[in-house]
Structure 1
Amino acid sequence: MGPNQGFGGTLWMIFHFALFASGSGENDRNFKMCGTWHHGNGPLTLDHGLKRGCSNITISANESSLSIHGQITAQCQNYSVIELGLSPEVRERPFCMYWEPLLDHLWVEVNGKIHTLCWPSGLQGNCCTDLSQGSNKGTAEYGILNATQHGDIISPLTHPAYEFFGEMINCKSKFCDEASKGSGDKVNMIEETVMRSKVLGNVVLPCALSTVVEMEEGFQGYNITLPAPQGVPPQTIPSVHLPSCLKPLEKKKVKVVCTFFKNSTLFQVRTNGWNSKADDNVIRILEDVVGITVENEIITNLAEPIRIGFHHSVLPKSHSRKCVSWDTKKDPAEVTWKTEGCETIQKGAEDTECRCNHLTYFAILVQLVPRPVRHLEALTVITSIGCATSMLSCVVIMIFLNKQRRAMNPSTAVHRGLAMALFLLSFLFFLTGIVANVGGNKACWVFGAALHYALLSSFSWMSIEGLHTFWLVYVVFSPSPSPYVWHLVGFGLPAVPVIVLLAIGKVYGVKEVVSSDDVDNSYLMCWMDVSPGSVGLLAHYIINLTFLAVVVLSGLIMLFLVQRKIQNRGEWRRNKVAFISIWGLSCLFGTSWGLEFLDFGQLSEFILFLFCILNSLQGFFLILRFYILDRMRKQTGSSLDVSSSTASSTRKHMLQE
């Protein structure tokens, strides 16, 4: 599984001993005793006699024989003498004895050659382990010198024998306890151990249930029903389909292990490509995790995918589910989930199928969609008050502009168009929650489209304000386009994408805004369906964000150009005029909407509050600017008519109006 497979037995041994040989002496589940055998110059043998049970084991050596005798195995009972065939010239040979009680596996390595005394016979329930050293025998001419246990020196002297005593424990339970305390690389050891157990069929552990299948020549695929824990209905257990392309062509036989983990706490959750800022209520792994590995192989880019069927409880509509796999290319000590390489097939409210082109651990990642909003109630109150204030302000602005002496000149027409668009946007947004709760999807199909149109129309008029200002400042000898042209662009252009989306259908409807304080009590509004993979989400990125980017960028550009043009005038040197002019033009050109692109990182909550305050009160800021400039006009007695026919008047008062 992952990168660990390709390294073969050597890397596995390193991980295995790192897991179970972290200390020496008592409480070591796996035993390793090494030393140097000092012998004579005659023929050498390995003598062993092993019995079932749990008492003691003696490792001894003399002039011609290295002996292993004792009662520590669960299934193995073996007596034999092995001719080592070593040359007599060398009088000292390094050796090590290894004991894996969980697999009932015992082997001895003498002078670099391995001799297996007990082969693995499945995973043992009760086994003899926690081998503790007894008293050393006296020194002798021939025997074991420089003896160590798990790398710790027992004695540098030559002793004829060492004795170790064992205790009977529940080996499977302790194995799972050790794995649960570790990180991702230790979880991986469960499947590696099952693979080495030499068992076909089902293997049961307290923390995992495995099925071992041998793929032979002519393998046509296989459906696996994983074993169910006691008391768990079999229909709730994941199912696995192994495709025919899973078997490597160059091998006649190869084993595959499918492991079912009912408790996902063995896997520390990190995500790649998902919102990792969220807490456990926002993003989590469902309990079931399935691991699949092929013996000594790294499997990627399968022509036909692995299919894993998960059965789970019914998920709320506000939750999104996605198939994920453990990204083993990253630090193996951490479990990092990724979505790449897996396809999610939702087969109902309680069933999800994952189709993946590689082997590793697989699970279902659940995330609230959209991301829950903190302080939603406060933001709703602020927005409602701001929209109500802006509606009233826009009405006053339109009355004020209609009373101007030049009510139909281009500048006044542009201001009035923006005020009308902002009024419509504030009015519809103020009512969107009421309509969603009362009318449901049917009413929101029309109301959401109207709200979308009002938003795009406001963006259009903000861009028109910037372009019109630039025209008056830089193109003073050419008349501004007719108000009818501006109205066609400001009110006509936004209708085109909205009509297209209405024709497509299933774009507008009820949208849930989830509160992080109460995820089960969402705020409903009429808007676009922006769920992952929907047409509404694609339209949001292509239409809404494009309009917004045009508004913000053009507004900043026009603001810079206008400021550079008039910064040397006398009025600019008065701080009050400069401040009010820049602030007012910023409101007109819609640059405050650029805060939408800053909603990330540590300032996310502050930006969200600032965004709601500035944009919901945009109508109020406009009337405030008109009022202040009107007071300044009366105090100075100067004309503030921005559409004066003379170039000098336009350039002098453009910034103020």
Structure 2
Amino acid sequence: MPYTGRSESIVLTVLTLAVMHLDPTGFQGVAFGVTSYKEGIDPTIHLCEKPFKKAWAAVYLPRSLRNYLGIQSLDPEHHSKIQFNFFGRTSLFVDNSLRNEVLNTYVVSASIENVSIHHLSEPVNIILRHVKPNTNNAEVHCAFWDFAKNNGLGGWNTSGCEVNSTDLNSTICYCNHLTHFGVLLDLSRKAIDGVNHHILTLISYAGCGTSALFLGVVLVMHLVLDKLRRDYPSKILQNLCTALLMLNLVFLVNPWLSSFHNHGLCITVAVFLHYFLLAAFTWMGLESVHMYFAFVKVFKTYIPNYILKFCIAGWGIPAIIVATLLVINKDFYGTTSFSEHHDSPTAFCWIQDDVVFYISVVAYFFLLFLMNIGMFITVLLQIHFMKAKQQRQSKNWKQDFFHDLRSTVSLTFLLGLTWGFAFFAWGSARIFFLYVFTICNTLQGIDMSPET
């Protein structure tokens, strides 16, 4: 659209378009807002340099966008164009994948020509007035229209969009976030404050990196030393370490890969993360089954192809679960937000649908957790009875006590019982148990030594 001057706009009853040339030299931010609107009547629009406090729909682009506005020049034609849109009808934005959510605002957008914008140090501020007042105080979500969803038909995506405030008549949205390890089994799936979120994220990255290093060392030792890879416990441990190593690696690269904002890539990353998480849970369960055979079933029954059957279960059951979800709807996976903090620079690929999360992750882990608790108690009692006579005759009871304590702690990590802290992360104790959960489980691989 050729035009002269700094800006130009087109105003229709159901659509408004505004285009501007902005000099990056003195750019301090710009806001586009529709201050009055009624269907059938042309909307009233305004452009200014400060965020709107009230509007039917408004978007404020912060000063950090100056780096995207092209070269400094006296000629406005050399500056990048910023385009704002307001849609007074929402029939173009129908997402058939939504179940319980409905679009209750008009749609506003902003873009800079030929530029993809990510990692802003300041949030984009968006005001959206409710078409119908939120009289029931229903939960609201901020979202953007993702053209890649629903096989290219488009759909709403909440990645990087977070509610700053909401009331009866309007909602204010901010953008962008990090994530932490606890989100993999965070039962409440609610955002936490920015400070705790940032600390948990740093702990997660440090813990997962350290754990991955130790898991790699353990796997190399088992592969190099023939004595370590012969027996059944070592082979089961190798598979568990492999699942945990891949889980940590996928988790560590997840924010980086999700920053490309490629819907297909994000689905792939989320699928691998889900698969290796379920595989880790499954191998922890198989560890407990093997311990039961080894310590309780003293007179063992020969099981042909013992390890092969364990591998089919350990790697096959998670594959069946993930494949089933992909067949039903691949958009169960995607980018997700878990933080109230709006200055964080990256997104995270994980399960979007709460029902799918609770069934395929929480319920699956809960069943294995109950089984592992039962096996854990049974094995400890068996070991206690076996060593009772020896301990009565032993003079160095302190050494025996600490040895048993270390064995108990090792079993707790080996069987994944520390993941059970997620069940206590509710209400006022949620933040505390998220810290405990994150510290214990990101460092889980450190305890997977050959001695264990």
Matched, 1:396 2:217: yes
CA distance in 2, matches of 1:318, 1:505: 31
Alignment of 1:371 onto 2:191: yes
For the 8 Å contact 2:106–2:129, the answer to whether it is kept is: no
1:500 is the counterpart of 2:324: yes
Contact 1:508 / 1:526 at 8 angstroms: preserved in 2?
A: yes
Find out whether 1:564 has 2:381 as its counterpart.
yes
Q: How does 1:5-84 map to 2 (within 5 A)?
A: none
Aligned residues of 2:335 and 2:348 also touching (Cα < 8 A): yes
Counterpart selection for 1:553 from 359, 370, 375: 370
Give the strand-richer structure, 1 or 2: 1
**Secondary structure of 1:513's aligned partner:** coil
Partner secondary structure for residue 506 of structure 1: helix
Cα distance change of structure 1 residues 597 and 414 upon mapping to structure 2, 3 Å threshold: same
SS for the counterpart of 1:463 is helix
Mapped partners of 1:490, 1:317: distance in 2: 47
Question: Would you say 1:616 and 2:442 are equivalent positions?
Answer: yes
- Counterpart position of 1:416: 238
Preserved CA contact (<8 Å) 1:512 1:522:
no
Cα contact 1:319–1:367 (8 A) shared by 2: yes
CA separation in 2, counterparts of 1:418 and 1:608? 23
Residue number among 398, 404, 407 corresponding to 2:229 in the alignment: 407
Amino acid at match of 2:413: C
SS class of match (2:262): helix
Structure 2 distance, partners of 1:234, 1:424, is 54
Match of 2:307 in 1: 483
Q: Deviations over 1:378-404 (max 9, x none)?
A: 211111111111111112212333325
Distance (whole Å) between structure 2 residues aligned to residue 542 and residue 387 of structure 1: 25
Structure 1 counterpart of 2:191, which letter? R
- Aligned AA (2:415): F
Whether the 8 Å CA contact 1:322–1:366 is kept in 2: the answer is no
Answer whether contact 1:435 1:443 (CA < 8 A) is retained: yes
Deviations 1:162-197 (A, max 9, x none): xxxxxxxxxxxxxxxxxxxxxxxxxxxxxxxxxxxx
Q: Deviations over 1:596-624 (max 9, x none)?
A: 1111122221111111111111001223x
Which of the pair has the greater relative contact order for Cα pairs under 8 Å at 6+ separation? 2
**Alpha-carbon distance in structure 2 between the residues aligned to 1:607 and 1:367:** 30
Identity of aligned residues (%): 22
Against the structure 1 CA distance between its residues 559 and 480, is the aligned structure 2 distance closer, same or farther, given a 3 Å change threshold? farther
Matched, 1:455 2:277: yes
Amino acid at match of 1:540: F
> Counterpart of 2:266?
444
Q: State how 1:266-305 maps to structure 2 within 5 Å.
A: none
Matches for 1:112-127 after TM superposition, within 5 Å: none
Q: CA deviation at 1:416?
A: 1.0
Q: Which runs of 5+ in 1 are unaligned?
A: 1-230, 238-261, 264-308, 327-336, 350-361, 531-536, 630-656
Distance in 2, matches of 1:318 and 1:551, equals: 45
- Check 1:475–1:318 CA distance in 2 against 1; reply closer, same or farther (3 A cut): farther
Larger radius of gyration: 1
The answer to whether the 8 A contact 2:229-2:235 is kept is: yes
Return the alpha-carbon distance in structure 2 between the equivalents of residues 321 and 582 of structure 1.
56
What is the rounded CA distance, in whole Å, between the counterparts of 1:581 and 1:319 in structure 2? 57
Deviation at 1:370, TM superposition (A): 4.7
Q: Check whether the contact 1:398–1:416 (CA below 8 A) recurs between aligned residues.
A: yes
Provide the rounded CA distance (Å) in 2 between the counterparts of 1:400 and 1:450.
26
Secondary structure of the residue aligned to 2:347 is strand
Alpha-carbon distance between aligned partners in 2 of 1:319 and 1:468, rounded to the nearest angstrom: 57
Question: For 1:144-183, what aligned pairs fall within 5 Å after superposition?
Answer: none
Give the corresponding residue for 1:519: 342
Give the aligned partner of residue 387 of structure 1. 208
Cα distance, 1:408 vs. partner? 3.1
**1:452 Cα deviation (Å)?**
0.8
> Does the aligned pair in 1 maintain the 2:251–2:273 contact within 8 Å?
yes
2:404 to 578, 588, 613: 578
The separation in 2 between residues aligned to 1:312 and 1:414, in whole angstroms, is: 55
Q: Relative to structure 1, is the Cα distance of residues 310 and 612 closer, same or farther in structure 2, using a 3 angstrom cutoff?
A: closer
- 1:567-606 alignment, distance < 5 Å: 567-568=384-385, 569=387, 574-606=400-432
Partner deviation per Cα, 1:296-321 (whole Å, 9 max, x = no partner): xxxxxxxxxxxxx9656759899998
Aligned residue-pair number: 294
- Closer, same or farther in 2 for the Cα pair 1:233/1:494, shift >3 Å? closer
Aligned CA distance change for structure 1 residues 365 and 489 (closer, same or farther; 3 Å): farther
Deviations 1:441-461 (A, max 9, x none): 221121111111000000000
Greater helix share, 1 or 2? 2
SS of alignment partner, residue 563 of structure 1: helix
Indicate how the Cα distance of structure 1 residues 415 and 432 shifts in structure 2: closer, same or farther if over 3 A, else same: same
CA pair 505-406 structure 1, distance change in 2 beyond 3 A:
closer
> 2:342 is paired with a residue of what secondary structure?
strand
| Closer/same/farther in 2, CA of residues 607 and 314 from structure 1, 3 Å limit | farther
1:480 is displaced (CA, Å) by: 6.3
Is 1:435 the counterpart of 2:257? The answer is yes
**1:182 match:** none
Q: Is the 8 A contact 2:236 2:287 kept in 1?
A: yes
Give 1:206's aligned residue.
none
CA distance in 1 between partners of 2:403 and 2:332 (Å): 46
In structure 2, the partner of 1:25 is: none
- 2:258 and 2:359 map into 1 onto residues whose CA distance is 25
Q: Is the 8 A contact 1:513 1:524 kept in 2?
A: no
Distance 1:522 1:597, change over 3 A: farther
- Matching residue's letter, 2:209: A
> What's the counterpart of residue 133 of structure 1?
none
